[in-house]
C-alpha cells in the first residue's frame, strides 16, 4: 500500500512539473502572456517551491446558507464585487486553519462563474512568494468535496506587469504559517530595471 502511495505521489509530482513547463512556454511565447514583451527575452522560467503532497488536502466546503456580498480591495484601489460562498478548514502540521472561499458576481447577461476563488497570503509572502498574496481556483463540485492543492497556488497577473488590476486577499485569508508550495515571487522590478538600462519600452505588444 505504501509503495502504491509512493508511486502515485511520483506520478502526481511529474504531472505538476509538466503543467509548470507548459506555463513557462505560454508566458515566454504567447501573445496573451502577462509578461511585457521587453522582459521576455530575460525570462527563463517561473520559480516554484518543489511539489509536495503534504500541501494537497482533501477538504469539505462549509457553505454559507446565504452567500454574503463582499467587496475585495484590489491592487489599484478599484473595488471588486464578490460573493463569500463558504470556507475550508484544513490541518497542516497539526494546526487547523481556515480560508474563506469566494465566487465572482456575474455581470448582467453573463453566466454564473462555475469556479471558486481562494485568494490567500502566508508567511512566505514578501520573502519567497509574491508579497500581495497568491490565488487558487477550483471548479465547483456537486458534493462540496474538494482537493485544496497549494502546489497549484499561482501569482496574480499583477506580479508580472503593472498593467493589471488584481483582487487582494482579505485579512481573514492571511495565514500565519509558511505555505512552501506553489509559485514563488517573480523578479518584475529587477527585469524592469534591466530593460530600462537597455532603453526598451515595457509595452505589452510588439511594435
CA gyration radius for the chain?
18
Q: Three-class SS of residue 140?
A: coil
Per-residue pLDDT tens digits for 131-176: 999 999 999 999 999 999 999 999 999 999 999 999 999 999 999 9
Does the pTM of the predicted model rise above 0.85?
Answer: yes
Of the candidates 180, 55, 178, 49, the one whose C-alpha atom is nearest the C-alpha of residue 123 is 178
Q: Is the pLDDT of residue 92 over 90?
A: yes
165 near 78, Cβ under 8 Å? Answer: yes
Check: CB of residue 146 under 8 Å from CB of residue 59.
Answer: yes
DSSP class of 150: G
Amino acid at each position: 500500500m505504501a509503495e502504491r502511495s509512493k508511486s502515485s505521489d511520483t506520478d502526481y509530482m511529474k504531472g505538476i512539473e509538466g503543467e509548470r513547463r507548459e506555463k513557462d512556454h505560454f508566458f515566454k511565447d504567447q501573445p496573451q502572456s502577462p509578461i511585457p514583451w521587453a522582459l521576455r527575452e530575460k525570462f527563463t522560467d517561473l520559480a516554484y517551491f518543489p511539489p509536495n503532497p503534504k500541501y494537497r488536502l482533501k477538504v469539505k466546503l462549509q457553505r454559507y446558507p446565504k452567500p454574503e456580498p463582499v467587496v475585495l480591495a484590489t491592487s489599484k484601489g478599484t473595488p471588486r464585487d464578490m460573493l463569500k460562498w463558504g470556507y475550508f478548514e484544513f490541518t497542516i502540521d497539526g494546526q487547523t486553519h481556515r480560508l474563506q472561499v469566494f465566487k465572482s458576481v456575474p455581470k448582467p447577461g453573463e453566466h454564473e462563474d462555475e469556479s471558486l476563488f481562494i485568494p490567500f497570503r502566508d508567511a512566505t509572502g514578501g520573502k519567497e512568494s509574491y508579497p500581495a498574496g497568491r490565488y487558487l481556483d477550483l471548479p465547483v463540485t456537486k458534493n462540496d468535496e474538494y482537493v485544496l492543492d497549494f502546489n497549484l497556488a499561482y501569482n496574480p497577473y499583477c506580479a508580472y506587469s503593472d498593467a493589471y488590476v488584481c483582487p487582494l486577499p482579505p485579512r481573514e485569508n492571511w495565514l500565519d504559517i509558511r505555505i512552501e508550495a506553489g509559485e514563488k515571487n517573480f523578479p518584475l522590478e529587477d527585469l524592469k530595471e534591466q530593460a530600462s538600462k537597455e532603453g526598451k519600452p515595457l509595452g505589452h505588444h510588439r511594435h
